[in-house]
Structure 1
Amino acid sequence: MAHSKWYQCSQDLGRFIKARSTLSDLLLRKLIKNPGELGDYSCPFTPAIRIADDNFRFNYFQGTHVPRLYFTWLENEEKRTSIPFTKHYEQEWINTFGYLPPAETQIDYFLGSDRQRSTGQFYTQASHRGRTAYLRTIELAKHFYGMPDTYAEHLSILALPIEPAYIGLVARKPDWIPEWNNNSVNADGITNFVNQALANFDLSSDSRSLLAFSMPIKIDDNTWIDLSVVKASTTDGYDDHIRLEERSGCISVGNLLDPEITYEFSSKDEAHCSAMAVTPYPFNRYGHWHSDMESRGLYVPKSNIDNKEIIGRTDECNFCYFVDDSKVGDSTFWFTDWQPNHPKGIRSFCGTATEIYNDKLSKWHSDSDSLVNCVYFCSVKILSSEDSYRDFDEQELDFIITKNQ
């Protein structure tokens, strides 16, 4: 990240690496031209698999402290090659306990007195241990099964702790987001809030359109709202009963350490034909340093033009979208009273918003009338509790707002 700000790394940086991997090699070659040293491995490699009864709760940590994606990708490679990748993964997990004793992995301390109904984005020692085991499994495949370096590099990117396309992104809450101002915590109150946001946005810009925004709203300690609003084109036809589905109809693809993301849309996603923005599913890169923002999701302009590619990258502190090298819009994010924990029903304490440039609509959308003939899909979750010792009751609302409603 410092290198992206023109910091020049020391030529002997590699000699300080004591847990070398394909990923660390890739990073060094990005930072230093022809590095002389690549570091040392944490311990020797062996193809032997000797899994005893005590596997240090390997299965327990999968999908909680350790991203399930590691096991899934290795399982896919196992099916494709018949090499026991998942067993090697488990063995490498066990091996780490030979040089690093287990430490506390509970996160209750950070959740405070509200731990029963709270969660958060945490990375524990078990998380690091899982990433180490995954990277060592890839290294073992290179040493004993002949996995090509380039293939290993693409697999190792799953363990990259940052998303290169988000480097340089700066949190900024838009001025047009209104205060809640004692609205009723129901559909009418939320409609008033959204209409005020839309009206404020229109006053702030006549060359842009608001495509989507999503945010948490704290009413008090026992009442929360998680709100997502997405523009939809009525010229495409839309279903009055449609419900927004996150991470559907679009995947994001990043190539190794390239500072940009390519978005690929499903041509068969008929259920979302009228929604003009979607949150993508990260296919091969997911930087846990950005998990607050990713949990909320950046809403990407959804192209309905065949074979039209949308590229995303950070530009001037915002995350911008490009079509044919022309900037068509951007997304911003901000934090709302950030804390290490948040209610389980709230995606995160991060808010996001996506704006598009009206004069660039034709580059990614086939109908210019969609900016006029439009509605806003609203997906709402209301959390409420009588006191701090009870779980939240959840109420979900889905409705449509027309401008000036």
Structure 2
Amino acid sequence: MQALSAYLGNSTTKSETELLLIERLCSCKLEAEVVEVLYIFWMAQQEFDYSPIENFIKNVPKSSLLSDMLLKVLVGQCPQDDSDLKLFPSDFDVPDDFNGIQGVDVPRIFRTTMERLEEHYRFPFVRQMAFEWSMNAKIYSDAPYQGDLGYFVRPLGDGFIGSFSSRSSLRSISSYLRTLAFAKKFWGMPPNLIRKNLLMALPINPTLAFMKPNRPKWFPDKTDFDGDYDSISSSISAMLDRVEEAAPGNELIAFVSPIMMSMERCVEVTIVRWSQAEGSQIDDNNLADYICTHLPDNVLISTRTETPLSTKTLLSPPTFQQLIDPNSKAWPLAGTLDFNRIGYLQHDLYPSRLFIPTLPNLLEAELIPKRDKLDIEVGSQIIADLSYWNSAWGPARHMKFGGGCGTALISRGQTYRKTLSSKDESIRDFFYWQVRTLHREKSYGDFCESLMAGILFVSPTR
């Protein structure tokens, strides 16, 4: 999608690319397919100031509330045609395949959202979505599923899931969009709630749409984290030295990535910087086990946007009281984005890879795409940036790993740490690390999992 939007923004390739994309748009049979193609035009407009052709809107065959949102930005108008919406008949039975694909071919979040809305508003959201699913099966009557996920996954062994968006997923998302349109028209669902739930069906989070892979020069070797506790600690220290050498004065706040991937052995490393005040009830030797056992995996940073498709995400950091653990007197310096805008084509980055500084007690910060990275700004001052790379991306990934991409959150100096309410206390920093290893003797079957965790205290100068 980035490459196609770049072709639209290039004067030498614009006309041919535009023609082919409009042909593709006209051929779309599902609402989600339309959204994906329109999103390419939207990306070109945002990054290259692209202007759609005259009467562009006439090429949209299957409109939805989400495509209307995109068209409003692209051309200033939208078709708003919902005349074909109808309630499921009284004798309608939910198809078995609708339930069977959830969490396998289709992200579970869409049905889960319908269940929550049904519980709150007492309307049959799930059954309506299942009805829309059964109706759009006829659109591709020859191949309603298209493709066999098992073809890619089965040779890898047990425990793998696909990384592609299948036709089943597009059908399910289209059913989800149509159900929201029905709820708006017939059930009086509030517009703000409609808008919020529409953003769950975005193919790409608008803030993340312009990130490009950028693997750091200091990335560790495959064997660096493949050893005992002491060798892993040494590998972390060596990596931190390389980070300091590459960016003097800056700090590594968080890092997560697959390091080694093979048919017999897979290694994933997560590192997060923490601070700790005096008065801990947890012994240093037990601190890693305490964090692993008793504290949440990630602190979610609340977000909002000024407009649904804004490329800037506004961050609402937690308070220091919300962040600090009363027993260990420790708090993480990085959290992860919440789920207000999820891009289903980017699930290798979700949920554990989009790190943001926790910034306790600040009123607000901004997450802005710049220079192929994401900048975190406070009062127009960049305090950190997040980059990502494709480390083990392919047609499938193991469910035990968060994704095939790696990310690193790097500070700009130490400004991000000067927001605490405990300024007069003695503070020390440490890195909490986890190394997850999957291993098996043969290149098929179940992986055995091992998880090591540890603490590396750092000097005030690091």
Q: TM-score, normalised by structure 2?
A: 0.78
Q: Distance in 1 between matches of 2:407 and 2:99?
A: 34
Q: CA RMSD in A?
A: 2.9
Asked whether the 8 Å contact 1:234–1:274 carries over to 2, the reply is yes
**Gap change, CA 1:198 and 1:51, over 3 Å in 2:** farther
Matched residue, 1:313: 368
Q: Which amino acid aligns with 2:104?
A: T
- Residues 19-38 of structure 1 correspond to what in structure 2 (within 5 A)? 19-33=62-76, 35=77, 38=79
**Gap change, CA 1:251 and 1:237, over 3 Å in 2:** farther
Q: Distance in 2 between matches of 1:105 and 1:246?
A: 35
Matched residue, 1:281: 338
Say whether 1:93 aligns with 2:136: no
Deviation at 1:320, TM superposition (A): 0.9
Say whether 1:18 aligns with 2:61: yes
Segments of 5+ residues of structure 1 without an aligned counterpart are none
Which stretch shows the higher mean deviation, 264-273 or 192-201?
Answer: 264-273
Q: Distance in 2 between matches of 1:313 and 1:371?
A: 33
Q: Of residues 228, 233, 258 in structure 2, which corresponds to 1:191?
A: 233
Matched residue, 1:329: 384
- Residues 23-102 of structure 1 correspond to what in structure 2 (within 5 A)? 23-33=66-76, 35=77, 38=79, 44-50=84-90, 52-53=92-93, 55-101=95-141, 102=144
Asked whether the 8 Å contact 2:65–2:198 carries over to 1, the reply is yes
Asked whether the 8 Å contact 2:278–2:426 carries over to 1, the reply is no
Asked whether the 8 Å contact 1:183–1:192 carries over to 2, the reply is no
Q: Of residues 37, 44, 53 in structure 2, which corresponds to 1:2?
A: 44
Q: Distance in 1 between matches of 2:298 and 2:335?
A: 7
Matched residue, 1:376: 431
**Gap change, CA 1:97 and 1:321, over 3 Å in 2:** same
- Residues 143-162 of structure 1 correspond to what in structure 2 (within 5 A)? 143-162=185-204
Deviation at 1:162, TM superposition (A): 1.0
Q: Which amino acid aligns with 1:289?
A: L
Q: Of residues 285, 292, 297 in structure 1, which corresponds to 2:353?
A: 297
- Residues 127-276 of structure 1 correspond to what in structure 2 (within 5 A)? 127-181=169-223, 184-218=226-260, 220-235=262-277, 239=282, 240=287, 241-243=290-292, 245-254=296-305, 255-267=307-319, 268-271=322-325, 273-276=330-333
Matched residue, 1:113: 155
Q: Which amino acid aligns with 1:279?
A: T
Q: Which amino acid aligns with 1:224?
A: C
Q: Distance in 2 between matches of 1:371 and 1:160?
A: 45
Q: Distance in 1 between matches of 2:154 and 2:103?
A: 23
Q: Which amino acid aligns with 2:55?
A: D
Give the fraction of aligned pairs with identical amino acids, expressed as a percent: 24
**Gap change, CA 1:16 and 1:218, over 3 Å in 2:** same
Matched residue, 2:25: none
Matched length: 400
Asked whether the 8 Å contact 1:226–1:382 carries over to 2, the reply is yes
Q: TM-score, normalised by structure 1?
A: 0.88
Asked whether the 8 Å contact 2:436–2:452 carries over to 1, the reply is yes
SS at match of 1:227: strand
Q: Distance in 2 between matches of 1:237 and 1:341?
A: 46
**Gap change, CA 1:145 and 1:390, over 3 Å in 2:** closer
Q: Distance in 2 between matches of 1:361 and 1:81?
A: 42
Q: Distance in 2 between matches of 1:237 and 1:321?
A: 31
Asked whether the 8 Å contact 2:357–2:416 carries over to 1, the reply is no
SS at match of 1:390: coil
Q: Distance in 2 between matches of 1:56 and 1:219?
A: 36
